[in-house]
Each structure stands twice: as structure tokens, then as C-alpha cells.
A and B are shown apart, each in its own frame.
Chain A
Amino acid sequence: MTQRRVQNMEVTTCLDAHSSKDSYVFKIVLLGSSSVGKSSLAYRYVKKDFRDSLPTVGCSFFTQTLRLDNSTIKLEIWDTAGQEKYHSVCHLYYRGANAAILVYDITKKESLEKAKVWLRELEKEFLQDEIIIVLVGNKVDLSPEREVTLQEAEDFANTKSMLYMETSAKTNHQVTELFTALAHELLKQRQQKEKSLHATHRKKSSIDLQESTFNSIKCCQK
């Protein structure tokens, strides 16, 4: 896993340097069929703008730094191409990801089916607690042409214990919220992991103590 934890180095320099709190780097990958709005979501979030974009070639890399609960979080966003010819290389991009955003177009039923395919791919690659997956129905600005109901997608997300959200990159609906929520979730998960790691550390250290006493006994016995 490439969960890289950067201590006060590059991330904090671009924000207030005096915050000696923790810094985290999370890798997020955007997956989904072509022209569902993966690049537009990334572009809206990172550049705060919208434009009709052309199909992505290979994959685009963005970074965005944000602060949450006294922590500095750097999101590395890998925006993949939805075209089939890049599928053979896509595993390169999602390998080591901390989170995946599965994007579908609410006006295209088949794009949800494709998202399910991506989910299966991810399930093959990751253990359940290794990756946070968000299902995102994009293009809510086109809701009159909706083909996938909120209920349907939500139910699906629940059965697979994914987070779920509907967004519009065009009208800037819930885009920042999506990434912030995801960052929150990632942070929570990471801190929990660290806590449990600490706990085991403490447990381990107590064992160590016992061991050392045992050793010392041994020593004494000697």
C-alpha cells in the first residue's frame, strides 16, 4: 500500500507552517465509463470551474490540499479515462488508492452498470477495509432525463456498503461536499487505524514489560 504519511514536510509548507498537526496524503481514483463527468468533477473541485471537456487521454493527475480537524490533507486525485482502450492500464492508476469514486451518469442507466463492473474490479484488488468507495451519480442538473432513481442507486450503494452522493459538476452541486466528505471519511478511518495501532502498541509494550521482567527474572536466575 502506498499510504504515504508525510510529516510536516511538503504539505504544511503550502499552508500555515506553524501547524504542527498531522499531515496526510490520500490517493483518490475516479472511475467510471466515458463521458459521465469524471474529469469535470475533478476540474470543478480543483479549479473551481466547469467546461465541456474532451475525453481524457490516459489519466490526469491533480492535487488538492485541505485542512480538516487540525490535520492537513493532501488529496492526490487520479482522473482516469473512461475509454475501454485504457482499461488494461487502469489498474496502474487505482493500485494503492485509499478511495475510489465510482461515477455514473444519472441519465444513463448503462453507466451505472459499468460502475458495477468497476466495483467488481476493485473488490478483486482490495480488501473491504482497504479502500473507501463512493458511488456518485453525476449530472443532476439533467434530472428531467433521469434514468437511474435516487432510491435505486442508494439501495445498491447500501448493499455494497459504499457511500453515495448525487452531484452536478456543471452547476457545482455537492462537488466540494463530495470530496470533503470523502476526506473526512479517510481521515476518520486513518485515525481509527492509528488508534488501534497505538492500542496494539500499548498492549505490545505491556507484553514487552512482562517479557523484560521475565528476562530480568531470567537474569536474576542466572
Chain B
Amino acid sequence: MAADVYKQKNEDVPNGSLVPPDRQHAERSESPTPGLAQGTEPGAGQEGAMFVHAKSYEDLTGADNQDVIPRSPYQTEGAQDELTKMEEISKDFSELSTQLTGIALDLEEEIRQNEEDKLDLSPQASRRDSVLSGEEEEDVTMETWRMHQKHVFVLSEAGKPVYSRYGSEEALSSTMGVMMALVSFLEAEKNAIRSIHADGYKVVFVRRSPLVLVAVAKTRQSEQEIAQELLYIYYQIVSLLTWTQLNRIFQQKQNYDLRRLLAGSERITNNLIDLMARDPSFLMGAARCLPMPAGIRDAVSSCLQQAKAKSLVFAILLSKNQLVSLVRKKDQFLHPIDLHLLFNLISSSSSFREGEAWTPICLPKFNSSGFFHAHISYLEQNTDLCLVLISTDREDFFTVSDCKRKFQERLKKRGVYHALLEALHTPFYSASQVGIPELRHFIYKSKSSGLFTSPEIDVPYITEEEKERLLGLYQYLHSRAHNSSRPLHNIYYTGPNENLLAWVTSAFELYVCFSPLGTKATALTAVNKLMKWIRKEEDQLFILSPQTY
């Protein structure tokens, strides 16, 4: 196994199709074979990861605890388990074809005919309630309200409304009362309600004391995925208040109206829900990097690293939800969920474009009991480059603000600022650059680095609906691959409009979309070629040498 990992031959990288490589290419395997160990796959950081290792649905598949225990920041969960699974992944690439699971069902049809029952094999599916509570009828006056694809409700354990995606919370207080009644009714029997499947809808419940989150969705997402989204919303609320404060409030006053404290942040939650529907970062549990020449990125990273302060824990440079650089304090790891929450916070408010923001923020996966202080500012008002400096000291505004100034000065002095702006002009690459005619789109995630790459969604997925449909297909493959009761490693899906392939190993995840004219055999050759291409371009597509303070 793993014969060609870190080959001794010093390969000469031919001119990449993105930007000519301007850096000594490390000795890494040219073609990643299934024997690839975690940490050697394309996109894996050369000096360790920046993120806490995140598994799909880790919060859901973990101990089914109602209360979230604040996690230790140093926890690299799952890393050990992954290593023990090493032998499992040593199967040869050729085996792939024999292991492919053909799912020829048309997804849309499947949803339309409401046949999830046949596919949904999760154990909780057996516990279902065919009676959809009368809440729907109560809102007959608002037909458009009922027509929404996905409703999200957050309520307190006292049944008090906290948030509703559509409509005012007051008008829905009785609806939420019913939801709470359902939760309590099953809890009285020492049981827990997870979902109700009826009439083409999935009603998913997530209980994170002192909150209850409910989604009513007719999207094609799996129950697990919807629950994951609800958890994101829960973390989003925690990031504003901290878990400690949230609990203290409800311990002191059970029927407290949390909307008072959350006033003004509904748009952050709204934005998060919208973002989750179109940004694969959430599905992948990983961050996407802005493609740029490795030399420039390294120079930017080192400028960022040099502008340090004692209280700084993380420095993150991003552009429109794409990571440019991340510097962290040695031994401190950021969790992708926390990073996504930061991305969402920044994209949901234009107010950061002016002045310098200094705000308390809780990174719930890092430490849910306390606040960091984040200095958020755009490098220039008219660029999309946003710098987030996360400090432990709330008094340190001027010190941290000075770090930003130093960083900008260094960028200009080293002459990389211009090149950095240049890279912003091409935030995406095209799938055609890979040189595989039948390839339409792909998502590749390196598990050890927590980073993924994906080309621009291009023809024929032009409209927003088409784009979301494609993402929906990926979501479907993802949920099949990560089904807790029957996970799949390889999936080949043939649909009327496209063929898709999913390949999940312990080192990486790959989801590829092909034109419908291709065959399984061509898809396999293409995947091989694609992996080689990603390896060749990895220093542009990923952050291979992350910096630490």
C-alpha cells in the first residue's frame, strides 16, 4: 500500500494551467492512489493542519447527548480513529469499479413520489409519526408562508419563540407551543423525537438545552443534513451569547424571551440559512481557499504572521467566504464550524466595511463558555479582502488595530499587495482547465487540512435553481456516503441530466459531476486524471504551509 506516496523522485512540475508554479515543488505523490494516507492527500498541509479535524455530522453521530459539553480546544477529535482505519483504505483504485454502487433512481422523482422511506435507512426513520400536527392548518391565511421550502424555528424549552425564518414569532407562538408539546410528550417517555415524515415534508427536531430547534423542510436533504443545519443555527446563537450565558439566562428565568437579546441578529441567522443552501463549505465541513500562486500566498501569510501581538490567537484573511490565509497560535486549532460562523457573520453585515469593528464573539467549538474579541475590518473599503484578528484581550483594541496597520505596511513593502489584489480578480477557476471534456464540476476535500476546492459552477448550471439543484445532488451523495447506519465509499449515480461520482476515503472526499453521456469507465479514468490535476495544482488551490505565531 501507499507505494507512491512521497516518491523520492524530484518531479518537474509542468506549467500548471492556472498560474506558473513559482515555488519548489515538494516531493509529493503525483497521483494519489487509494492507499493514500491521511496527511499525504492533495491539499494536505505540509506542516500540519490549521483546523480541528472535523467529521461529517460529528455532533450528531457522537454521543447522543442532549447537552453540549464545551469541548476542549485542543481536541483533535477522531484523528485516532481515522488512523486505525488506515488498512481499510488500502484498496486499489481498480477495485473502485467493482464497488460502485449504482443508484439509478431519479432523485427528483424519488422526492416527488415521497419514497424516502425506501431509501432512508437510518434507525431513527423507523420511529416516525404519520400525523402532522395541526400547526399547518392554523396558518391557512398565509398560503405563501406555507409554501416555503424550508422553515426554521427556534424556541426555548418553555415553548417561547426565539426565532422563525419566515413570519413573526408572535404569530407563531401557538405553533411553537405545539412543537414543544411534541418534544415534551416523547421526553416524558424517556424518548426523543427526531423527525416526522409526512406529506413530502420532513420535520426535524434538534434539542440542545435550553433551546429546541425545528426545521420543516420539503427539500431533498436527508434528515441528518437538516439536523446538521439546525446545529449550525444553534452554534450561531451560542456565538453571540456564549453557552454559559445562554444557560444562566434560562436557569434564572425559564420563560425568558430570548428575542430581546437576539434582536438585530435575525439577519445573521437568515444569512446563515441562505448560505447553507448555496455554499458547499457547510456540507463539506471545510473551508475553500482563494486560488492564488503559492509564492504570493506564502508571502501574505508571513506578513500576517509577522504582525503579531501577544493576545492574538487567530488571524484570518478572507475574501467573499474564501480563505486567503490563516495564522494561528501554536497548538491552537480553529474548528471549521467556527470559521464558517465567522464567514457568515462577515458576509451578513455590510457594516464592517466602514471603520474597524471590535466585537465580542464566542467560537463555540473552540470554547463555548467565553468571548474572544474580534477585530474585523476590510483592508480597503472597495476590496473584498477582510481581515479578522481574534484576540483574547478585550482591552487590546489599539494593539490589535496596530497589527492590521503593520500587516498592510508589510504587504506593500514586500510588494505583494498588488499581486494579492490581482488574485482576487480570479476567485474561481473553470472545470475546463482540468482538460477532461465530460467533466462539469467537482468538489474535492482534503480531510487532514480541512480544506476543499471546487471550480466555478458553469454551463449548464447557470440559473440559481440549477446551481442549487447541483448542490442538492452533492448533498444527496454526501448523505448517502455518510449515512450513519450504512456509509458508502463509492457511489456512481446516473441521472437524466448528469452522472455523478462520489468517492470517500479516510484521506479525502471527492464528488464529481459528469455530462450524462459518459460511462462509468470514462468516469473512472477521468477521476484518476482529475486527482493528478489536483495534485499538480495543490499549491495554488490549498494552503500547504500554514503559519503559526
B351 touches A56 (CB 8 A): yes
Task: Mark the stretch among A41-49, A103-111, A207-215 that contacts chain B.
Answer: A41-49
Instruction: Report which of A54, A55, A62 forms a contact with B355, defined as CB distance below 8 A.
Output: A62
The CA-CA distance from A55 to B413 in the complex, in Å, is: 36
Task: Mark the stretch among A81-89, A128-136, A165-173 that contacts chain B.
Answer: A81-89
The CA-CA distance from A83 to B345 in the complex, in Å, is: 16
Does A199 lie at the interface of the complex (its beta carbon under 8 Å from any beta carbon of B)?
A: no
Given A43-B354, A54-B351, A86-B360, A61-B263 contact (CB < 8 Å)? no
The CA-CA distance from A81 to B265 in the complex, in Å, is: 11
Per-residue A-contact encoding for B390-425, CB less than 8 Å = 1, 0 else = 000011010001000000000000000000000000
B263 touches A89 (CB 8 A): no
B residues in contact with A61, CB < 8 Å: 355-358, 397, 401
Does B148 lie at the interface of the complex (its beta carbon under 8 Å from any beta carbon of A)?
A: no
Given A84-B260, A85-B265, A42-B355 contact (CB < 8 Å)? yes
A89 touches B360 (CB 8 A): yes
Chain B's nearest CB lies how many Å from the CB of A2? 10
Interface residues of A in 46-86 (CB under 8 A from B): 46-47, 53-62, 79, 81-86
Instruction: Report which of A46, A53, A84 forms a contact with B261, defined as CB distance below 8 A.
Output: A84
B residues in contact with A82, CB < 8 Å: 264
Per-residue A-contact encoding for B525-548, CB less than 8 Å = 1, 0 else = 000000000000000000000000
A46 touches B355 (CB 8 A): yes
CB-CB nearest 4 A-B residue pairs:
A58-B359, A55-B264, A60-B355, A83-B264
B358 touches A59 (CB 8 A): yes
Does B303 lie at the interface of the complex (its beta carbon under 8 Å from any beta carbon of A)?
A: no
B357 touches A58 (CB 8 A): yes
Does B85 lie at the interface of the complex (its beta carbon under 8 Å from any beta carbon of A)?
A: no
Q: Please indicate which of the listed interface residues B348, B361, B397 has the most CB atoms of chain A within 10 Å of its own CB.
A: B397
Does B267 lie at the interface of the complex (its beta carbon under 8 Å from any beta carbon of A)?
A: yes
B residues in contact with A23, CB < 8 Å: none
Does B429 lie at the interface of the complex (its beta carbon under 8 Å from any beta carbon of A)?
A: no
* A residues contacting the other copy or chain, number (CB 8 A): 26
B355 touches A53 (CB 8 A): no
The CA-CA distance from A39 to B264 in the complex, in Å, is: 14
The CA-CA distance from A43 to B240 in the complex, in Å, is: 25
Q: Which residue of B lies closest to A59 (CB)?
A: B358
B residues in contact with A81, CB < 8 Å: 264, 359
Chain A's nearest CB lies how many Å from the CB of B372? 11
Given A53-B351, A60-B351, A34-B264 contact (CB < 8 Å)? yes
The CA-CA distance from A47 to B240 in the complex, in Å, is: 29
Interface residues of B in 253-298 (CB under 8 A from A): 260-265, 267
Does B352 lie at the interface of the complex (its beta carbon under 8 Å from any beta carbon of A)?
A: yes
The CA-CA distance from A61 to B357 in the complex, in Å, is: 6
B351 touches A85 (CB 8 A): no
Can you sample 26 A-B contacts with CB below 8 Å? A34-B264, A39-B354, A42-B355, A46-B355, A55-B267, A55-B351, A56-B351, A56-B357, A57-B352, A57-B359, A57-B376, A58-B359, A58-B374, A59-B358, A60-B354, A60-B355, A60-B357, A61-B397, A62-B354, A62-B355, A81-B264, A84-B261, A84-B263, A85-B261, A89-B371, A92-B394
The CA-CA distance from A63 to B171 in the complex, in Å, is: 44
Show the binding face of A for B, using Cβ within 8 Å: 34, 39, 42-43, 46-47, 53-62, 79, 81-86, 89, 92-93
The CA-CA distance from A84 to B263 in the complex, in Å, is: 7
Chain B's nearest CB lies how many Å from the CB of A36? 12
B residues in contact with A89, CB < 8 Å: 360, 371, 394
Q: Please indicate which of the listed interface residues A55, A62, A81, A82 has the most CB atoms of chain B within 10 Å of its own CB.
A: A55
Does B349 lie at the interface of the complex (its beta carbon under 8 Å from any beta carbon of A)?
A: yes
Additional A-B contact list (11), CB under 8 Å, known A61-B357, A82-B264, A85-B241:
A39-B351, A47-B354, A54-B350, A56-B357, A59-B357, A61-B355, A81-B264, A83-B264, A85-B262, A86-B360, A89-B394
B residues in contact with A92, CB < 8 Å: 394-395
The CA-CA distance from A56 to B267 in the complex, in Å, is: 12
A residues in contact with B355, CB < 8 Å: 42, 46, 60-62, 79
The CA-CA distance from A54 to B268 in the complex, in Å, is: 11
The CA-CA distance from A39 to B240 in the complex, in Å, is: 20
B residues in contact with A53, CB < 8 Å: 350-351
B residues in contact with A46, CB < 8 Å: 354-355
A83 touches B358 (CB 8 A): no
Instruction: Report which of B265, B350, B354, B395 forms a contact with A83, defined as CB distance below 8 A.
Output: B265
Given A79-B355, A83-B264, A85-B261, A57-B345 contact (CB < 8 Å)? yes
B residues in contact with A59, CB < 8 Å: 357-359
The CA-CA distance from A62 to B381 in the complex, in Å, is: 13
B residues in contact with A93, CB < 8 Å: 358
Q: Which residue of B lies closest to A35 (CB)?
A: B264
B354 touches A57 (CB 8 A): no
B residues in contact with A34, CB < 8 Å: 263-264
Q: Which residue of A lies closest to B241 (CB)?
A: A85
The CA-CA distance from A59 to B352 in the complex, in Å, is: 10
B residues in contact with A55, CB < 8 Å: 264-265, 267, 349, 351
B residues in contact with A39, CB < 8 Å: 351, 354
The CA-CA distance from A181 to B264 in the complex, in Å, is: 31
The CA-CA distance from A84 to B260 in the complex, in Å, is: 7
The CA-CA distance from A34 to B262 in the complex, in Å, is: 12
Chain A's nearest CB lies how many Å from the CB of B252? 14
Chain B's nearest CB lies how many Å from the CB of A40? 11
B357 touches A57 (CB 8 A): yes
The CA-CA distance from A78 to B348 in the complex, in Å, is: 21
The CA-CA distance from A54 to B267 in the complex, in Å, is: 9
The CA-CA distance from A119 to B252 in the complex, in Å, is: 27
